[in-house]
Structure 1
């Protein structure tokens, strides 16, 4: 298939890895970039050999098939709707929108228009997490009955010059910021979540910026910076999850699953690489990786797979349904913490199809396609 044309809206820090990795994936080609700050778009265009333009001009181009939405979460829904109205498929950074209701409307609009809606994270498509998926599907831990998901950090103000978003804006806080990686990784392994409960809190009311031109300034904290709870999966597994910006150090692994026949440790879901460990027959063993895209940062893999799926007419893995379900789960955890009760999840999503093993960098096929 020929490469689909992609237009990037939003030229912040995250855009660099997508623009860089466009050279890795032949499934798509970056043809234009846009940002509210014209100078930011021009700088990225100059660096990566693209063309800078306004958002309006980008959406009007006939050679752009997919809009890559890299704006801030509060703008995801607005830009997504504008792109769909222009007849473009949309692939967005996480979360899908600033709220579950906004995300549901966006997902419905894509479906009504017959257009694809995709969303990060796509790290679950990397070599490490596809290895874990293959082991689970092969029954190596038996039936998964429990697990843990742990993301605990001291916060971003020590290194980020403008950390306000993480503490005081929609989409902030550790669950909404980093939870998509952990929730999506578990959805890939175990399927949809039926019910959640949680407790939350915050260690302090403000954070001091430590670097950059605003060093010393105080950022108000208006979201929970520590959220801990339980995810009850539709297949029955109970997974404890903790996300925090209040922890200086800890010794918990990112992800673990416990089954009737064995246990598994799974690498950082914010990465594509790492080693999966399996406990069976009385000892832990590192597992070989047979899937591609497990030796580097391959953000854009989900976009490439969606482009491939558009061409072949097959489902794409990092779908709007998957992202919508993950966002409902995260929002429900905050609500559960506020109200002190368990929350039933109203949406369901299919487990994404696994990718085929044995393919090289830039090559993408679903397991069923390669069979």
Structure 2
């Protein structure tokens, strides 16, 4: 049976979600909400649903709503998530929040705590590992083809350089030194954690290109981050916000190497290559030919459909709340990592241990 959904925030991402729900059998979009009346009215007319201009009114007038999808933005792309999400959770609705979970770590922790208290599903749009190459890579790991994880290398950023630069103009990023960290590191950190588990130590050396400094732009836009996973594996993340042009592998690469093999995903949705560890291959020099799986997909936006469907499936199937895919707890983990990056940067590259996550308690109705 289709789940009744209301969307809060009808700008770019909200409208993308609405389009996804329109073609999804598990979804029934019944309402849209935005404090900007024109946005709400336009989306409502397109999708044939009711428009609201406050979440309080939408919750009162649509008591059968099951899911509230929070696609608002705000400062650092996350300051408008907390209030509507808390309202929806208090009303007993399941909630999906656009990334990042919040732009304030205390708010992120409270969202996860309150959702657990109210026994509702809380998910986040960590959509970068909802792609065919990512799922094939996960299969390599689950079937033992990677072995013990040795390292994880991630590179994610934006195409840019001095000739393409434009100074920040919106209050959401202008004057916000940690805009790139809070708005974007969620994605690479979430994928690194998806493959390699929890991160226990973080050290960063961050900077910005000279043309940003000359323009008075205070965004800390180049992030060189070294991490240690709980497993003992080493990790490295390089992320930059248009300070340089793309290199090998495009805007998004993820390589995980292990004792039995290594995979590398290129451009997020496009392909994954796998190299099996084997005898007879010189330690330096020639390289075995990889097994390459191309998805035939080049459109990144396909990940939105995949992620939204996964959330709807988990809610429909009643999976344990602590084990839904890309949960609020998962989103809190990567927000904790982001705050550890900021702390390391402010301390001149000190090693920082991220704040521990809340413990799993387990649902007694499932753990019989």
2:347 is aligned with 1:347: no
Deviation at 1:48, TM superposition (A): 2.6
Q: Tell me how far apart the structure 2 counterparts of residues 242 and 97 of structure 1 sit (CA, whole Å).
A: 22
Larger radius of gyration between Structure 1 and Structure 2: 2
Q: TM-score w.r.t. structure 1 length?
A: 0.81
Aligned counterpart in structure 1 of residue 290 of structure 2, from 282, 285, 288: 285
Q: Which runs of 5+ in 2 are unaligned?
A: 279-286, 360-368
TM-aligned CA distance change 1:162 to 1:69, over 3 Å: farther
Could you tell which deviates more after superposition, 259-268 or 37-46? 259-268
Q: Tell me how far apart the structure 1 counterparts of residues 49 and 288 of structure 2 sit (CA, whole Å).
A: 52
State the match for 1:133 in structure 2.
138
Q: Tell me how far apart the structure 2 counterparts of residues 81 and 204 of structure 1 sit (CA, whole Å).
A: 41
The aligned runs of 1:121-160 (5 Å cut-off) are: 121-153=126-158, 154=160
The aligned runs of 1:250-261 (5 Å cut-off) are: 250-253=246-249, 254-261=253-260
Aligned counterpart in structure 2 of residue 199 of structure 1, from 198, 205, 220: 205
Deviation at 1:47, TM superposition (A): 2.1
State the match for 1:181 in structure 2.
187
Deviation at 1:19, TM superposition (A): 1.1
Task: Provide the secondary structure at the position in 1 that maps to 2:79.
Answer: helix
Q: TM-score w.r.t. structure 2 length?
A: 0.82
Q: Tell me how far apart the structure 1 counterparts of residues 305 and 95 of structure 2 sit (CA, whole Å).
A: 13
Could you tell which deviates more after superposition, 294-303 or 71-80? 294-303
State the match for 1:364 in structure 2.
none
Q: Tell me how far apart the structure 2 counterparts of residues 69 and 138 of structure 1 sit (CA, whole Å).
A: 36
2:71 is aligned with 1:70: yes
Deviation at 1:140, TM superposition (A): 1.5
Aligned counterpart in structure 2 of residue 172 of structure 1, from 168, 179, 190: 179
Q: Tell me how far apart the structure 2 counterparts of residues 250 and 106 of structure 1 sit (CA, whole Å).
A: 36
TM-aligned CA distance change 1:169 to 1:75, over 3 Å: farther
Contact 1:95-1:180 within 8 A present in 2 as well: yes
Alignment deviations for residues 237-269 of structure 1 (CA, whole Å, 9 cap, x no partner): 111111112532242432111212222111334
Q: Tell me how far apart the structure 2 counterparts of residues 70 and 152 of structure 1 sit (CA, whole Å).
A: 22
Deviation at 1:304, TM superposition (A): 2.8
Aligned length: 335
Aligned counterpart in structure 1 of residue 308 of structure 2, from 303, 306, 315: 303
Contact 2:146-2:261 within 8 A present in 1 as well: yes
Contact 1:152-1:247 within 8 A present in 2 as well: no
State the match for 2:122 in structure 1.
117
2:249 is aligned with 1:237: no
TM-aligned CA distance change 1:59 to 1:207, over 3 Å: farther
Q: Which runs of 5+ in 1 are unaligned?
A: 209-217, 351-371
Contact 1:99-1:331 within 8 A present in 2 as well: no
State the match for 2:113 in structure 1.
108
TM-aligned CA distance change 1:248 to 1:346, over 3 Å: closer
Q: Tell me how far apart the structure 2 counterparts of residues 326 and 296 of structure 1 sit (CA, whole Å).
A: 22
Contact 1:202-1:224 within 8 A present in 2 as well: yes
2:252 is aligned with 1:221: no
Q: Tell me how far apart the structure 1 counterparts of residues 309 and 137 of structure 2 sit (CA, whole Å).
A: 21
Contact 1:128-1:289 within 8 A present in 2 as well: yes
Aligned counterpart in structure 2 of residue 85 of structure 1, from 84, 87, 90: 90
